[in-house]
Structure 1
Amino acid sequence: MSNDFPDDLVQLQRDLHAATASLKQFLDEHPHSPEPMDGWHRKPGEGYWTESRREPSPGWSDEEKQQETDLRARLLDLIGEVYAHPHWHTLSGPDLVKARMRLKHIDDPVEDD
């Protein structure tokens, strides 16, 4: 894929992908609720159309809550930096949209035609 983006913008996008992956990994490794919560199991015919279930959550420690807050703050900062990068002022209309989408996939494997 052609890389006509400034190096710092490409690095910001890579950092954004990494931050997103870090937050996802953190959330996948922790109970669904940061606060202690009872689980439930609802069956069809008991006032519900479909079966659903949620395991109980013991909650998170204060350190884990802070870690999630920090991961989300980092993600939001990077989103803002990518979005507000001066490079985008050199483009407009469909070219801007196409370039933003290309940047999101800058490290995707190149497909052979």
Structure 2
Amino acid sequence: MLQDAMGITFSINLLKTIRLPNFKICFILLCVLFLYDIFFVFITPYFTKSGESVMVQVATGGGGAKEQIPIVVKVPRFSNSPYKICEGVQYSLLGFGDILVPGKLPYLIS
């Protein structure tokens, strides 16, 4: 929970300080990061020996260390479905890039 609080504070601070010059640059950056996310989350499992996504390994401290650096926010899953409980994953990961770049769009539109 402390890492989530630090991550949210970091995100709010960056949203307040970083300025993008116009909507076009922000839109291009958003499209490039979207393709980057798709590649590293869904395509890299086909290239790794373990079959796990590179981005998930980095965000969760993959390997034997299991050290987590605050680059993701863990969002708990609230579900009444018994099938979700059996999966064993009680949270979703939300990366800072998924917060910061879309968070800049409202400032450019107004």
Task: Tell me the TM-score normalized by structure 2.
Answer: 0.29
Q: Which has the larger radius of gyration?
A: 1
How does the TM-score come out when normalised to structure 1? 0.28
